[in-house]
Structures are given as C-alpha cells and as structure tokens.
C-alpha cells in the first residue's frame, strides 16, 4: 500500500525502469520518490528484494532528487556507497532521498530504502555523488 497516488514510470517498452514496474509516489516525509513491489521476478531465493535491484532503485530515486536540486537532467553518478542493513520482506520498497550537499559542480544525495509495509523499517542506507555536466 502506498502513501499517495502512484504513477508507474514508463520510459518505453523494454527499458529497465518500465520493466521493473517502479512507480512515482509522494512520501509524507521527503516528497516525490520511487517505490517497487516485491514480485517473483525481483526477489532473491529468500523472498526478499534482490540487492542489485535495490541498488537500481536507490540510484534512480537519488538521481531524481539530484535532478530536482540542480534543475537539470544533465548529471551523472560519480560515486555510490550502499550499506545493506536488512531485507525488504513485505514491501513495497521505497527509496527516500535528500540532498546532503550542493556545490557548483556536484551534488551529494543520501538515499535510504525503507520497507513501507513493515512500518517503514530501514533496510539500506546509501550516499551518492553526482557530477553536473553543464557546470563551468
């Protein structure tokens, strides 16, 4: 169950974001973000969200946060550190992100993954750096 109106991300057939059925939601604490349900094709043999796919969710959610902060889509990730603290067992998995530092040429974002269906339990925390391609 989501906290707000959900809008599936559709960037075209065959694109990983469309295929993973990520959706945009409004989180009550951080605003716009992404989440995805646990489904057979995204879980590991233990029934929890696959760690690599959690990484994809984190990067996509953090990138959206960075794009809003710098008001440009011309960014690329330069660094990503993820700490897995637990597993997404109930779902959906939601990435909640905020800007830690904004410079002229870069932006640093903290992005956490919570298991919404398990009382917003924190399951991963990460820090990502993005370089602004248009920065002078």
| Residue 31 clears pLDDT 70, i.e. is over it | yes
β-pair type (106-115, 75-84): unpaired
Tens-digit pLDDT profile for residues 85-127? 999 999 999 999 999 999 999 999 999 999 999 999 999 999 9
Q: Which two tokens stand for residue 102?
A: 């904004």
DSSP per position, 23-76: EEEEETTTEEEEEE---GGGB-TTSSB-HHHHHHHHHHHHHHHHHHHHT-S-EE
Give me the sign of the Cα torsion angle 61, 123, 121, 35: positive
Grouping H, G, I as helix, E, B as strand and the rest as coil, residue 103 is coil
Q: What pLDDT does 15 receive?
A: 73
**Largest interatomic CA distance in the chain:** 48
**pTM for the model:** 0.89
Topology of domain 7-132 in CATH is Thiol Ester Dehydrase; Chain A (3.10.129)
């Amino acid at each position: 169950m989501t906290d707000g109106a959900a809008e599936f991300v559709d960037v075209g057939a065959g694109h990983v974001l469309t295929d993973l059925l990520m959706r945009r939601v409004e989180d009550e604490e951080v605003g716009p973000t992404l989440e995805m349900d646990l489904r057979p094709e995204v879980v590991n043999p233990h029934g929890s969200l696959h760690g690599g796919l959690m990484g994809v969710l984190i990067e996509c959610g953090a990138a959206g946060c960075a794009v809003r902060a710098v008001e440009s889509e011309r960014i690329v990730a330069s660094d990503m550190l993820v700490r897995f603290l637990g597993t997404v067992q109930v779902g959906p998995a939601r990435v909640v992100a905020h800007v830690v530092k904004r410079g002229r040429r870069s932006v640093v974002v903290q992005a956490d993954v919570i298991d919404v269906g398990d009382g917003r339990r924190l399951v991963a925390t990460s820090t990502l750096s993005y370089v602004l391609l248009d920065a002078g």
